[in-house]
Structure 1
Amino acid sequence: MSDLVRRAEEWSAQDPDPETRAELWRILAAGDTDALRDRFGARLEFGTAGLRGELGAGPNRMNRVTVMRAAAGLAARLGPGRHVVIGYDARYNSDVFARDSAAVLTGAGLRVSLMAERWPTPVLAFAVRHLDADAGIMVTASHNPPRDNGYKVYWGDGAQIVPPLDAEISAAIDAAGPVDRLPLGDRWETLSDAAIIEPYLAALAGLPLGDARDLKVVYTPMHGVGGELLLRAFRAAGFAEPEPVAAQFAPDPEFPTVSFPNPEEPGAMDLALAQAAASGADLVIANDPDADRCAVGVPLPGGGYRMLTGDEVGGLLGEYVIERTSAADRLVAASIVSSSLLGKIAKARGVRHAETLTGFKWIVKAGDGMVYGYEEALGYTVGSDAGLPVRDKDGIGAALAVAALAAQAKRDGRTLLDLLDDQARAYGLHATAQLSVRVADLSLITGAMARLRSAPPDRLGGRDVLAADDLSAGVAGLPPTDGLRYRLDGDARVVVRPSGTEPKLKCYLEVVVPVTANPGEARERATRDLAALKADLAAVLEL
């Protein structure tokens, strides 16, 4: 206890935030050992996803001390004279963390451009390259719970950092002294709308959007920062302005209408789908709170709506971009947990395809000539023959591309569901699903992965396991990562990996069913096959 008390007192002495200082004083006065151990028994680790965690006092929380130390580490790694762009979303303390970072960086002799407003993550990623900066910081926790915040670092290529940069910055953070001794600056550039939003929208205007524009869209930004910018992007591209879900349109860090601000979570899309049904919308589009992801809902022939999976949208957009680009050596890419459909589309159309580790930091580094990349968790980056405007997930650009695709289909008397059937007939029905297990104790995930490595399953879902790849050893030229991949007979696949941002073990399942006549029958079979895979995998995990 005495060591925890000492560390808490030292932390409080340097903390510039009266709220987190008061939090520590209350804990110390109460003699709450468990609360101290929770805050000081570990620390948030800086990795390729930067920092992400619950707001509060201590090194195991997101707070002003944690953020200022991170900024000091980044400044040390970059060196004086370098240029850093900083963006932030509407979460609690995002603007404070952004200004603290600017103060530390300018105090260390770096040049800083700070966004004037709460703008989406893809705007920050775009700005790094547009302004020829050396690095970027985005203060956001994406679609995490309301009490979380985070700190993402981008390098000069406009992509999130990858090893060994993360380890180098982490070591520099560890070497940073108390934050109350850091020199702080107060002179930085404020990026106006004209300086960055207008160039961003101009870059999106260069996407392959065709000329069909007759489309009625219902849209929700999920209480995040994408709303005004998405409406503006649609107007600039010549679409009618989407009909917003009013209760979810204004940025609100409490996310009051959803239990979890992620379009993939049950119930999160209920308001948008109900509004679409009432207004007869052709399409439902949602962004997550920092607008780097894009979710899509479509009307069903018999009434009602359904959300498309990330893989369904990924395949549709992939084929759309390939059809509307012409560079001889263009490349499309997807992560190893995404559907194998994109690779088959690329092969059929004579386009290069790459498979990468999970995360856009890897996807956008797949190779030169990239025109499209996606991951199943609703992340897409859409480009043209000129390349990618944003080297990260871009929920605004993806929304425009989806709208263009849907408008073209509508003009042809068809729907996105019809296009999915076309793909199923051409390449086989690629059906995917997830099994995610959230845990309170991360050691349960470590134990499950160890059990799978020591005793891999022979059969899953009634299928023989033909090959078991341990991704920690590096497979097919991919960097090592903590994951396992099982290839099953009948063209099926399972990937198991710990989440990089949440206390979850995530399993990604895919079955491919040939379509002889009716895609609906193939979907029914695929649903049964995926259910069998899930049941067997849940039993094997023992969680």
Structure 2
Amino acid sequence: MATPELRETIDQWLKWDKCEKTRSEIEALDQAGDWKKLNELLQTRLAFGTAGLRGKMRAGFNGMNDLVIAQTAQGLSTYMSEQFSHSDRKTRGIVFGFDGRHNSKRFAELSANIFIRAGFKVYLYRCLVATPLVPYTICHFNCLGGVMVTASHNPKDDNGYKVYWSNGAQIISPHDKNIQKAILCNLEPRECIWDTANLYEAELLIDPKEAIVAYVDKLRDTLPSSIIEGNSQRNLRVVYSAMHGVGFPFIRDTFASIKLQPVIAVEEQKDADPDFPTVLFPNPEEGKSALELSIKKAESSGSSIILANDPDADRLALATKNSNTGKWKVYTGNEIGALLGWWAIYLYKQTHPEGDLSNCYMLASTVSSKILRAFAKQHNFHFIETLTGFKWMGNETDKLIKNGKTVLFAFEEAIGFMFSTNVLDKDGVSAACHLASMACYLQSKEEISLDEKLQNIYKEYGFHYNNSSYYFCYEPNVIKKIFERLRNFSGESKTYPPSILEGKYKIKNIRDLTNGVDTAQADGKAILPVSASSQMITFTFENGLVITLRTSGTEPKIKYYAEMCAQPGQTDFDGLINTTNEMVSGIIQEFLQPNENNLTPKSD
């Protein structure tokens, strides 16, 4: 028998849910008496956070479905109604975009309908769009906010609800907590919200398609005319994969706009397909396993460069073929960040002959390479480190702009890049345009490849070697045990390991952003924001290696990010690599204890 509490929740779901598919799922489980599954689906609610919502598409309050989306849209519209005047809601409005996943269009239409009935002007895209188009459209039309329905590179059964504020950046606290409260206060579906039959006839509904044209024009403006002219004179053919996502039309149009040769598309992955039939994980960050078809296409077409977006086109992967060895190199996000960071400096100097960068800024997340810091030191500009995620970099960029500063570039190691401030979020389309343009420039002016340029950057600014990966851990209690052991290492609170490998490598400083400890600060307190709900500890060793251990906000992973930073002119790259790998191996075994904790390593 179901408990009285569960029975009440089942009845409530069946009363409110009007989707035949998800109603049938709950009814079938109820008839079968599967109380365990019903508890999982109904008694826990999918929480709204700084990433909005993301979860498996299924019935129940713990899934992505019509009812949960309706409740979310009701809460969001209520909160925004409290924040903005009636006049702003009717004249500035909100924008909705969606990707090619199952139910994405339905979730966007349902949300648009709710906002229209709440008196908002609504910009609803009629076509699939890349995620960067939503924050761009917010700024283009001066909207109050926006929502992109996407689960980015998650598995095919997932979907998400990514919320942006009026500045075009992802929401941060206190908006996330206040929206969550508003959702919980507006759970009962309002009258007529399910009726979307006449949605496209609504007076307050607008197709924002002109913003796509403006986005392409703005992207073109980030390149000097000399670079665009140079693109037209090179026969650079790039193989491109949209990873069964939305990127191809945007790559096609932007490449044409800046006079790059049309991409050679991986046909099997060119068009949006919610089942992602050719990849186990639709995530180009997975490396060669996700780029097999791209490499095959490049080999057959004679191309030496591969660019790949993730399914919502906000991330970008790069691979190049070595002309001497014939081997393919898949670049890390940190390596792409080094290339694009250098390119941003070069372009700025082209348009500012005086070469003064003192009012300029670059940003990277705390787990990303510090190569931008090395650039800043040599070129006399500012480098800012933020917490992980573009919500932090986007909002920090917004503050800098409002204070009259120029932000040239921002990136995170998870192949996310913000080139210029046209979009205050990662943008895989603009990053692709700039990497391809950079490749044309290097071929023409310096007669070197992207990889050769990367090596030159390391020689000039200092070799930055990264060793990053992750382990799967499906037990939250095990994750907690691992991190609590590290911060109670001597049996007392806030005591940490002093070294690794029997004292061979000593730890200099520790920053724990779960509890606010930072031993590098005079008062021992962290400067960056602290979050008790997530695990994140950074160890800085006396020899210069920095490693961060953290949990993922969207996946059951423990991630590690290690970097060794050399000084300019230091040429013992192999020695630095060997030391870093030795230390990372020791840290994994001593700190994470993968065998004892039954952790599963990354497959690739």
Query: Which residue of structure 2 aligns with residue 477 of structure 1?
Result: 527
Equivalences for 1:52-201 in 2 at 5 Å?
Answer: 52-79=54-81, 80-81=86-87, 82=89, 83-181=93-191, 186=199, 187=202, 188-193=204-209, 195-201=210-216
Bigger CA drift: 465-474 or 47-56? 465-474
1:235 aligned partner, one-letter code: A
Cα distance, 1:41 vs structure 2: 2.7
Would you say the 8 A contact 1:432–1:530 is kept in 2? Answer: no
| Preserved contact between residue 507 and residue 541 of structure 2 (Cα < 8 Å) | yes
Q: Which deviates further from its counterpart, 414-423 or 55-64?
A: 414-423
For the 8 Å contact 1:333–1:372, the answer to whether it is kept is: yes
Q: Structure 2 vs 1, CA of residues 182 and 167 (structure 1 numbering), >3 Å: closer, same or farther?
A: farther
Aligned residue for 1:467, secondary structure, equals: strand
Contact 1:466 1:487 in 2 (8 A): yes
The aligned residue for residue 208 of structure 1 is 223
8 Å CA contact 2:410, 2:417 repeated in 1:
yes
- SS in structure 1 at match of 2:308: strand
Look up the match of 1:457.
497
1:419 equivalent among 443, 446, 453: 453
Report the equivalent of 2:308. 286
2-structure distance, mates of 1:35, 1:180: 28
- 1:261 and 1:517 map into 2 onto residues whose CA distance is 37
1-structure distance, mates of 2:260, 2:313: 19
Q: Is the 8 A contact 2:341 2:409 kept in 1?
A: yes
Distance 2:295 2:484 in 1: 42
Once the two structures are TM-superposed, the CA of residue 538 in structure 1 deviates from its matched residue by 3.4
* Distance in 1 (alpha carbons) for counterparts of 2:486 and 2:586: 18
Q: How big is the shift at 1:273? A: 1.5
Question: Which range is displaced more, 532-541 or 306-315?
Answer: 532-541
Deviations 1:352-397 (A, max 9, x none): 11000001010122333212100000000101xxxx1000000000
Report the Cα offset of residue 530 of structure 1: 4.1
Aligned to 2:95, the other structure's residue is in SS state: strand
Q: Tell me the equivalent position of 1:33.
A: 35
1:531 shift after superposition:
4.1
Counterpart of 2:328 in structure 1 is: 305
What residue is the counterpart of 1:221 in the other structure?
242
1:259 matched to 2:292? The reply is no
SS for the counterpart of 1:303 is coil
2:339 — aligned with what?
A: 316
Task: Tell me whether 318-327 or 217-226 shows the greater mean CA deviation.
Answer: 318-327
Q: Deviations over 1:293-349 (max 9, x none)?
A: 011111123102111000001011112102221464011000000011111111111
Q: Paired residue for 1:446?
A: 480
Structure 1 residue 532 displacement after superposition: 4.4
- Kept in 2, the 8 Å contact 1:16–1:180? The answer is no
1:420-435 superposed matches below 5 A? 420-435=454-469
Provide Cα deviations, 1:439-461, integer angstroms capped at 9, x if missing partner: 22222222222222222222246
Distance 2:257 2:244 in 1: 23
Note the aligned Cα RMSD (angstroms).
2.0
Counterpart position of 2:520: none
Asked if the contact 1:277/1:304 (under 8 Å) is kept, the reply is no
Distance in 2 separating the partners of 1:520 and 1:276: 30
**What's the offset of the Cα at 1:208?**
3.0
1:532–1:405 distance in 2 versus 1, CA, 3 Å: farther
| 2:560 alignment partner, SS class | strand
- The aligned residue for residue 4 of structure 1 is 6
2:401 is equivalent to residue 401 of structure 1: no
For 2:574 and 2:558, the matched residues in 1 are separated by: 31
Pair 315,536 (structure 1): closer, same or farther in 2 beyond 3 Å: farther
* 1:512 maps to 2:533: no
1:496 equivalent in structure 2? 549
Counterpart CA distance in 1 for 2:463 and 2:578 is 11
Using the alignment, how far apart are the partners of 2:381 and 2:551 within structure 1?
Answer: 32
Query: Could you tell me which residue of structure 1 aligns to residue 602 of structure 2?
Result: none
CA offset at residue 234 of structure 1? 0.4
Which amino acid in 1 is paired with 2:24?
Answer: A
User: Deviation of residue 189 (structure 1)?
Assistant: 2.3
* Structure 2 Cα separation of the partners of residues 238 and 328 of structure 1: 32
Task: Tell me whether 1:276 sits opposite 2:298 in the alignment.
Answer: yes
Is residue 170–residue 395 contact of structure 2 (8 Å, CA) maintained in 1?
no
May I ask how many residue pairs the two structures share in their alignment? 538
Q: Distance in 1 between matches of 2:295 and 2:580?
A: 25
Q: Counterpart of 1:304 in structure 2: which amino acid?
A: K
Q: 1:470 to 1:517 in 2, by over 3 A?
A: closer
CA contact (8 A) 1:14 1:180 kept: no
What's the offset of the Cα at 1:416? 1.2
Q: Report the more deviating stretch, 510-519 or 139-148.
A: 510-519
Cα gap change, 1:117 to 1:269, in 2 (>3 Å)? same
Higher alpha-carbon Rg: 2
Once residues 261 and 241 of structure 2 are traced to their aligned partners in structure 1, the CA distance between those partners, rounded to angstroms, is 15
Q: CA deviation at 1:282?
A: 3.1
Q: 2:471 aligns with which of 400, 414, 437?
A: 437
Contact 1:485 1:493 (8 Å CA) reproduced: yes
Whole-angstrom CA distance in 1 between matches of 2:380 and 2:192: 55
Query: After superposition, what is the alpha-carbon deviation per residue over 1:224-249, rounded to whole angstroms, capped at 9, x for unaligned?
Result: 00111111110111000110001111
Measured in 2, the distance between the counterparts of 1:352 and 1:362 equals 17
Identify unmatched segments of 5+ residues in structure 1.
Answer: none
SS at match of 2:530: coil
Compute the displacement of 1:516 (Å). Answer: 4.1
2-structure distance, mates of 1:240, 1:466: 50
- Aligned-pair distance for 1:86? 0.5
Deviation of 1:417 (Å): 1.2
* Alpha-carbon displacement from aligned partner over 1:191-231 (angstroms, at most 9, x marks no partner): 253x1110010110011362432222000010000111111
Question: Quick one: structure 1 residues 93 and 51, their matched pair in 2 at CA, closer, same or farther if it must change by over 3 Å?
Answer: same
The answer to whether the 8 A contact 1:485-1:495 is kept is yes
Q: How does 1:515-530 map to 2 (within 5 A)?
A: 516-517=570-571, 519=573, 522-523=576-577, 526-530=580-584
Once the 2 structures are TM-superposed, how far is the Cα of residue 181 of structure 1 from its aligned partner?
3.9
What's the CA shift for 1:62? 0.4
Distance 1:429 1:530 in 2: 17
In the aligned structure 1, how far is the partner of 2:542 from the partner of 2:299? 41
Determine if contact 2:315/2:416 at 8 Å carries over to the other structure.
yes
CA distance in 1, matches of 2:311, 2:476: 26
Report what 2:392 is aligned to: 362
From 374, 380, 385, the equivalent of 2:417 is: 380
- Paired amino acid for 1:111: K
